[in-house]
Structure formats: structure tokens, C-alpha cells
Amino acid sequence: MKTALLLFLPALLCLAACNKKSNGKPPGGEDPDWPKDSVRIVVDKGISRPWEILWGPDDFIWMTERGGRISRVNPKTGEVLPLLTLPDIVATGEGGLLGMTLHPSFAQQPFVYIVYNYGSPYREKVVRYRYENNTLASPQVLLDNIAAAGIHNGSRLLISGDKLFITTGDASAANSAQQTNLLNGKVLRLNLDGSVPADNPFAGNPVWSFGHRNPQGLVMANGILYTAEHGAGIEDEVNIIEKQRNYGWPNVEGPCNTSGENTFCAANNVREPIWSTGNGTYALSGLDYYNHDRIPQWKHSLLQVSLKNATLYQLKLSADGRSVASSKAYFGGKFGRLRDVCVSPVGRVYICTDESPGKIIEVSKPE
């Protein structure tokens, strides 16, 4: 049987769209039969604790659920089409099946990258599957034996060019974030076959940046890599990730704004966040970039969802993208805890809830 990919090869040109992320529109414009409501529930049953949603080359939403299922979701009808349930998933506490991304040349190399928790002792691994015959097959482990815990496991995946970026949490061992010989509390960088790039900052080591607590948002926009991460009692952060930079945890939370933090930051080349939540935490999770005409007031903005605050935040970027000019909040508490966000090629925004049953909501314009 022919792979389903052959049925939608033209759409593959839009692959980066919400696979974090493209700003183009399909050649034929928008489907005239698409629902026109400004805010619409796409799915509200049959899914549990969705963690990742991304726009696929078939114009479907690809989704992971914490319990281990990977599916494609029809954004028009809400039909959920399962691809695979992982056989060795262990979903303890905040763990389970987490991030996912797709190969940028999916037509020629239909690879799906996922990260999930497994085993005893509890660990995390990155695995590459091949999409064929409407399922996922031929798993290849790219990186494993990352320490995991009931809390602080990260983990988003992103492909930029020919490199795979992976966020990891500190796995409830805060001091590991400052140890560059360990993989926890880091942004990691691999080649797409799992090998370590020769230009990584530490020879033979996947570590790209360190000093992170629990980063669960990751997006590349205009050549800048952004993360969002959970703070402890104060200061969730949005950061610009740079090679070999220290982001401070556990010695620094948010900006370097106490005497002890200032000393540590000066001595350790700490990169301060471009935005933080101040004296409290929102539990920031999925992150995407918006630059479409459909919602003009959101152009050139990061879209950030939160779990504890159950809110979508628009972070308007400066012209150079290196600072946040303003912020605005939407949907506070309306849908529950919000886990992830993605943007379609025509500028529709999708958010999913961290619930069972979970929801996927489409936003065509703000309320």
C-alpha cells in the first residue's frame, strides 16, 4: 500500500509551518469551506493530556499524548487518527510522551522525532520513527539514559536546518543544571542522525546551553532560538538561547537583580531572560511565533501558553526580535490549563489543554 504521504506531496512544501514554523500561505489560499468562527473547539473528547501539537505536511495537526499515543488530527472535523501507542512508555508524575518534531524534508525522509520517559530507574530518550503506511515504524534511539523524575523533565524538540534541539529539565536535581557533563537542565543539540555536531561547545557532548530548570517551550524565529521555562517560586522565563551560555539555575531566577545573583551572573556569563513573570510563576509551556495578516495585532509576536494561569500570552517582539516590547493576555481560565500552541500556514492558532479529556481549540482572531 502506498504511503499516505504520496497523497499530499504538494503540502510538504509547507512543512515548517507549525513544526515550529513557517509564515507562508498555500498557493490556493484558504479553503472556503473552513469553519469561520473566531474561536472554535476542534476536539473535546477522546484525547487525554495532549502535550505536543504541530502542523504537519498533510495539513493535519500531529499530536502526542502523555500516555504514549501519537496521532494525526483533522483540524476541520476534529477526527483523531492514531498512528502508534508506544510500547515502553512510563508516565509517572509529569512524565510520559512529551515533545515531537518532523524532519524538514519529510517527502524524502519521513522521519518523526519524539522524546519520552521509560524504564526503571526512570529515564528519558529521544527516538526517531519512520512514517509509512499510516503508522510509525523502524524506531531508532538517538539519545537515551537522560535522567528523569516525576517532575522537571522538559522536553520540547525542534529541528532548525540540519540540527535537532532538545530541552531537558533538571529532573528534580537542581545542581545538575550547572554541570556540563550531565544532560539535565540543558538545551541539547544533535545532528539529525543522533551524532554530536563537531561545532558543539563541548567536544563529543550534546550540551548547547545550560543552567535551565524546566524548559517546555522552544521555537526558532528569524534566526533566533527562544525557550520558555518554569521557575520555582518566582520568575518563569522566556530566553534567547546562545551557544555555551549559562542561564543561571539554580543560582539565578529571572533577571540578575539581587546582589548574590549579580555576582554569580558576572562570574558565569549568565544570559538574562528577555521576559519574565516577576514575583510569581505562570507555569509557561508551549511557545510559537506568529507573523501573519489574519490576526494583524499579533504579527511579529511570540505566543506563549501557561498551565497554572491557563492563559495565552502575546509577547510583541522588538524589531530585531531580541527583546519583548509589550505583552497581552487572552482566554484567562476559559479553557483550563494550556499545554501547547501552534500556528497553521494561513495564520490560524491552535492551543491544547492539559486535561483528560483534553481539548484542541482553534483561534482565527482574538475575542
- Give residue 15's pLDDT: 43
Global pTM reads 0.92
Domain, as residue range, for 37: 4-26+33-363
- Give residue 20's pLDDT: 52
- Give residue 28's pLDDT: 34
Largest CA distance in the chain: 65
- Give residue 31's pLDDT: 53
Count: domains in the chain: 1
CATH code, domain carrying 307:
2.120.10.30
Residue pair 71/56 in contact (Cβ under 8 Å)? The answer is: no
- Give residue 9's pLDDT: 39
Q: What is the DSSP letter of 332?
A: T
Residue pair 104/160 in contact (Cβ under 8 Å)? The answer is: no
Q: List the chain pLDDT tens, one digit each, 367 residues.
A: 434 443 343 444 344 445 454 333 333 345 556 777 799 999 999 999 999 999 999 999 999 999 999 999 999 999 999 999 999 999 999 999 999 999 999 999 999 999 999 999 999 999 999 999 999 999 999 999 999 999 999 999 999 999 999 999 999 999 999 999 999 999 999 999 999 999 999 999 999 999 999 999 999 999 999 999 999 989 999 999 999 999 999 999 999 999 999 999 999 999 999 999 998 999 999 999 999 999 999 999 999 999 999 999 999 999 999 999 999 999 999 999 999 999 999 999 999 999 999 999 999 987 6
* DSSP string across 85-134: E-TT----TT-SEEEEEE-TTTTT--EEEEEEEETTTTEEEEEEEEEETT
Count of beta carbons in the 10 Å neighbourhood of residue 17:
25
Residue pair 352/325 in contact (Cβ under 8 Å)? The answer is: no
Closest residue by Cα to residue 355 from 78, 43, 73? 43
Question: Can you tell me the distance from the alpha carbon of 206 to that of 197, in angstroms, rounded to the nearest whole number?
Answer: 8
In terms of Cβ atoms closer than 10 Å to its own Cβ (0-12, 13-18, 19+), residue 50 is: buried
- Give residue 291's pLDDT: 97
Residue pair 61/51 in contact (Cβ under 8 Å)? The answer is: no
CA distances from 246 to 186, 296, 321, 366 (A): 9, 35, 20, 36
- Give residue 32's pLDDT: 56
- Give residue 16's pLDDT: 42
Residue pair 350/53 in contact (Cβ under 8 Å)? The answer is: yes
Closest residue by Cα to residue 236 from 265, 221, 258, 216? 216
